[in-house]
Structure 1
Amino acid sequence: MDPENVSATLTVAVPAATVFAVLADPTTHSAIDGTGWVQEAADQAPLTEVGQIFRMDMYHPNHPNGDYQVANQVQVLDPPRAIAWLTGQEKDDGHLEFGGWFWRYDLVPRGPSETAVTLTYDWSAVPQSIREYLQFPPFGPDHLTNSLHHLAELAAPTSRARTPTARYLPVGPPSRSARAQKAVE
């Protein structure tokens, strides 16, 4: 692991365009995540351009409010090869403030029905003032690999009939949606 970023790669038996379509759909991100922090997409429109903002409802037991919202800004959108976004928050005045970390997925086709997917979490631009109260990375080393396995399950043609929460395997505290799913079961 580089001191400023961490990445993982998984080859999936799914075409790159299909994997990219799942990543460009914010409504799938809670099922991909696996920490229990990402709850649901507040902005559900597909990601279609650099600069696009999409908000996600979040939950973390150590956050002052528990529930909160992040604003993500698309930085890279190169279908079906790469997608990346910065994560931040929207201030009361509507101004977006980014913390200096980003998520990036790079997809390399390995034939017509197989794709190598690399997920990178980079915090190299996080200022010292934020590093004083947030630990980086804020999750364990297996998180990225778990997320890639969740992505593969969502992108696989046979998984489309199942709901993402039924396959959700959190590595952290359970999400509200996972808790609600358990209550229903």
Structure 2
Amino acid sequence: MPTDDTTSATLIVAAAADRVFAVLCDPGTHAAIDGTGWVQASVDRSPLDHAGQVFRMSMFHRNHPDGDYQVANQLREFDPPRTIAWTPGTENSDGTLEFGGWIWRYDLAVIGPRRTAVTLTYDWSAVPDRIREYLQFPPFGPDHLANSLRHLAELAVL
């Protein structure tokens, strides 16, 4: 349920938490999990394995000035198999990263050997006013998080 600066959804996935977490740690699955068509492909193929790690994704959005662009996500939390969270940003030509202030977070709770409650939260509370002036938050419809969780569940039970 949305609050002023966060929205979340929860789904019970018929897979062990370790399996669900492994899917989330594979950047190659993120386009299928997202489901909007914005996330195109992983640029970095290495599995996600520590806080501070940066992984890049090729993106597309019709309202982006370039259409095709790239994000540099940095892992903010990494606690297998319970929590993984990252903040998307951009990488400048000098290699420095800039972040917009929004965070994607997955929290997993074991409810059985092959049942995991997964909560996906999108938090834009740290987005500065200068960005809020030209971007609407959240930038997706109300069903997006639930749809993403269903995609995650499909990948986790394969």
Q: TM-score, normalised by structure 2?
A: 0.98
Report the count of equivalent residues. 157
Looking at structure 2, the residues matched to 97 and 20 of structure 1 have their Cα atoms a distance apart, in angstroms, of: 27
The offset of 1:92, in angstroms, is: 1.6
Alignment of 1:49-64 (within 5 A): 49-64=50-65
Matched residue, 1:71:
72
Matched residue, 1:121:
122
Which structure is higher in helix share? 1
Which structure is higher in strand share? 2
Question: Structure 2 counterpart of 1:155, which letter?
Answer: A
Q: Which runs of 4+ in 1 moved over 4 A?
A: none
RMSD, matched Cα: 0.5
Looking at structure 2, the residues matched to 59 and 113 of structure 1 have their Cα atoms a distance apart, in angstroms, of: 35
Secondary structure of residue in 2 paired with 1:88: strand
Secondary structure of residue in 2 paired with 1:110: strand
Looking at structure 2, the residues matched to 121 and 91 of structure 1 have their Cα atoms a distance apart, in angstroms, of: 24
Percent identical pairs in the alignment equals: 68
Q: Does 1:26 align with 2:19?
A: no
For residues 66-89 of structure 1, what are the alpha-carbon distances to aligned partners after superposition, in whole Å with 9 as ceiling and x for unaligned? 000000000111100010001100
For residues 70-122 of structure 1, what are the alpha-carbon distances to aligned partners after superposition, in whole Å with 9 as ceiling and x for unaligned? 00000111100010001100012211000000000000000111000000000
Q: TM-score, normalised by structure 1?
A: 0.84
Question: Structure 1 counterpart of 2:50, which letter?
Answer: E
Based on CA coordinates, which of the two structures has the bigger radius of gyration? 1
Secondary structure of residue in 1 paired with 2:57: strand
Deviates more, 1:50-59 or 1:91-100: 91-100
Structure 1 unaligned residues grouped into runs of 5+? 160-185
Question: Structure 1 counterpart of 2:148, which letter?
Answer: S
Structure 2 unaligned residues grouped into runs of 5+? none
For residues 111-151 of structure 1, what are the alpha-carbon distances to aligned partners after superposition, in whole Å with 9 as ceiling and x for unaligned? 11100000000000000000000000000010000000000
